[in-house]
Amino acid sequence: MTVIYCAACGKEFEPRPQILNQAYCSAPECQRERHRIWQKKKRQTDPKYRQDDADCNRDWASDHPSYWQKYRTDHPDYTERNRKLQRERNLKTKRAPIANENVSIRDISLQSGRYWLVPIDSDGIAKVDAWIVEITVISAGCNPLTRADE
């Protein structure tokens, strides 16, 4: 009888002969860990899987619009941790601000199309609610107004 140690819980278990190179015991939490690791690797290496997964999650979220709002209310520690990590990510990206009063109107090169409009707070953290807006450029190519012309 061969006994090996579970890669998740570290406990001894007897591998099933039907499963080649079994690394996880049959405990539900260890099987969830095995699946979580498999899924993480699959998302990193398989673009189609990643896209399908994202589509599925988006569809589910649109069918359950209050789920994440309730989750954040019920889990304030999670919410605060997430905000802190997002602030840190925002500092790392060093992106140009999305809206700035000093941006010249001449710098805007917008094409007609549909856009996500996502409200952000003062920390640059995107809020839950997002709108899809359609913007139609009706006067491309003309000289734009400057602030002095207004």
Q: Which residues bind Zn ion (CB under 5 A)?
A: 6, 8-9, 25, 27, 30
- State the nearest-atom distance from the C-beta of 46 to Zn ion, in Å: 26
Q: Rank residues 23 and 125 by Cβ distance to Zn ion and give the closer one.
A: 23
> What residues form DSSP beta bridges with 97?
none
Nearest approach, Cβ of residue 35 and Zn ion (Å): 13
Polymer length of the chain: 150
Q: Which is nearer to Zn ion, 7 or 125 (CB)?
A: 7
State the residue for tokens 């709002």: 69
CB of 64 to Zn ion, least distance (A): 31
What's the closest the beta carbon of residue 29 comes to Zn ion, in angstroms?
7
Burial 52-85 (b: 16+ CB within 10 A, else e): eeeeeeeeeeeeeeeeeeeeeeeeeeeeeeeeee
Within 10 A of 98 (CB to CB), how many other CB atoms are there? Answer: 10
Of 91, 68, 69, 72, nearest in space to 81 by CA: 72
Smallest distance from Zn ion to CB 36, Å: 13
Dihedral sign from CA coordinates of 34, 37, 42, 43: positive
Contact indicator for 55, 43 with CB cutoff of 8 Å: no
